[in-house]
Amino acid sequence: AILALAILALAIVAQANVQHYSGALSTYASLMAKVAPETEPPAAAQWFERPFKKPVPSSPPLGEYDITYVKRRKEVGEKFFTCKSGRKFAYFTDGALDPSCEGVSILFCHHSCGQSKYMWLMKEPFKNIFQVSVDRFGFGHSSDAPTAGYWFDQLVPEMVELVDAVYDEYKIPKEKKFFVVGHSMGATVAIEMAACPELRGRIEAIAPISGPADIWNSRVTKAERNAACMSVMRNSEKTGCCSGGSLSRWTLDKMGGMSLFMMRPYPKEDEDDKHAQIYREYCCGQDGGGSKQAQEAAYGDPFLLSLVLDSMMPGPHNKYHFINEFRRALGAEWAYDPGEIKCPCFIYNGEKEETPAKMANIHNKLIPGSELTLWPYGHASIFLEFERIIQALVKKQKVDGSPLCAR
C-alpha cells in the first residue's frame, strides 16, 4: 500500500490523478518438502521492545506497539516450508488446534503487496477456524521470487505445495475443502486459486478484498479496462513501437524504487521507523483511509493500527518483487479465467480507495454468481472488517448489515 509514492512517480510521467493497486497459478504440484518450525529473526523480536521514534498522531496516540498485538505476534510465531524449487515459505497458523475435526473450517490468507502475512493476525484466535497466513515469495520472511517475473502459473503450484504440506502435517483428509481470502494483490491469488482447474474442486468459497481485476480478460471491454486502470500501469508487457510498454515499465521501476520507503526492513535502533509519517501520508489519505468515519473507527483501535504499521515490515525484498506484482496482475491476461470459478465468491471494496471500485465491478462481471459489497473504507482502514468477512466466508455468506465504521 503505497499511494503517495505512486502518485509522485506517475506525476513525472503524466499530469493526472493516478491510483495504483497493492497487494498475486498453473498445474497441480506434489508435496516434496517438509514443514519445519523456526523462530522469528532477532531483528523483529528486538524491534517490538522499542517505543516509536515519534508518536503516531492517532486518537488515541500510539507511541509503541499495542501490548495485545505484541502478545499475539509472539503466540503465533512462524513456520517455514521448503518447496521443490528450494524456495522457502514463511507462514503462521492460528485458531482451532485440530483442523482435521468436523466443524473446523480451514482458511488460507494472502497479503497485499504492501503488507506481510501478519496483516491477517486476529486479536483473538478463531475457535472453529484453522487459519494459515503465508508470505509470498519475495516478501516478508519468505525466500526471493525470480526477479525476471513470477507469474500466476508459477505462483499457484508452489502455493499448492504449501497447502498439501499443511494437510499432511495435520492429517487433514484430502477431500476436506478449504476457504481462501486475500487483500489487494492477495485477492488476485485467491481468485486464481479458485479458477485453477486442479484446485476448483478443493475450495469452498473465496473472499477477494480490494483487489485488481483481470483487466485483459477477453470479456472486459476496452472502455472498462481504460476506466479501471491507466495505461502507464497496464502496458508493462507490451513491446511494440508506440505501445506504451517502455513508459509503463519505466513508471513501475520508479515506483518500485520508492516503495521501499514504506515497505522496509525492521529499522535499527538509531533509525526512524517512519510510522508517524506513514500514518499521516498514507493511512489517513483518501486511498488508504477512506472516509473520516472509517479512519476514526479503524485507527482508534491500537491493535489494528499496530497491525497495519507493523505488517509493512519487512515488505518486498527489493523493488523487483514489488514491480512483478503489478506486472502479473495488470500487465497481461491471467493464467486462469475467473469466469471458470465454481465456488461462491464474495467481493469487497472501498467506494473510493486505492483500488478503484471499477475493479470490483469487473470481478463481479467475470466471476459467475459473485456478490459485491462496497463500503466507505480505504485500502488500509478496510482491515477493520477482516474478522467479519472471514466469519461470513466460512458460512458461505457475505457480511450482513452496515459496516462497522457506520455504527
Burial level of 336, CB count in 10 A (0-12/13-18/19+)?
buried
Domain count, the chain: 1
pLDDT at 192 over 90: yes
Does the pLDDT at position 18 exceed 60? Answer: no
> Do the bridges between strand 105-110 and strand 371-375 make them parallel or antiparallel, or are there none, so unpaired?
unpaired
From CA 174, how far away is CA 89, in angstroms rounded?
A: 21
Range of the domain at 249: 3-406
Helix (H, G, I), strand (E, B) or coil at 80: strand
Residue-wise pLDDT for 107-119, tens only, equals 999 999 989 999 9
User: With contact defined as beta carbons under 8 Å apart, do 184 and 112 qualify?
Assistant: yes
Least confident range from 14-23, 257-266, 337-346, 387-396: namely: 14-23
Residue 194 and residue 203: Cα distance in Å, rounded? 7
Q: How confident is the model at residue 139 (pLDDT cuts 50, 70, 90)?
A: very high
136 pLDDT band (50/70/90 cuts)? very high
Q: At residue 394, does pLDDT exceed 80?
A: yes
Which residue stretches of 260-316 are H helix? 275-278, 286-289, 292-299, 302-310
Per-residue pLDDT at 255: 73
The mean predicted confidence, pLDDT, of the chain is 87
Which of 121-130, 206-215, 239-248, 325-334 is least confident? 239-248
Higher local confidence (pLDDT), 62 or 32: 62
Mean pLDDT of 372-395: 98
Contact of 351 with 293, CB cutoff 8 Å: no
Phi, psi (5° rounding) for residue 331? Answer: -90, -20
Percent above pLDDT 90 for the chain: 71
CATH of the domain at 95: 3.40.50.1820
Per-residue confidence band for 74, with pLDDT thresholds at 50, 70 and 90: very high
C-alpha cell at 248: 509503463
Q: What local confidence, expressed as pLDDT, does residue 17 receive? A: 33
- Residue 236: the pLDDT is 82
Over residues 262-266, the mean pLDDT reads: 75
- Which tens digit of pLDDT belongs to each residue from 284-309? 987 889 999 999 999 999 999 999 99
Report how far residue 296's alpha carbon sits from residue 301's, in angstroms, rounded to the nearest whole number. 9
d(CA 154, CA 146) in angstroms, rounded, equals 10
Number of residues that make up the chain:
407
pLDDT at 45: 58
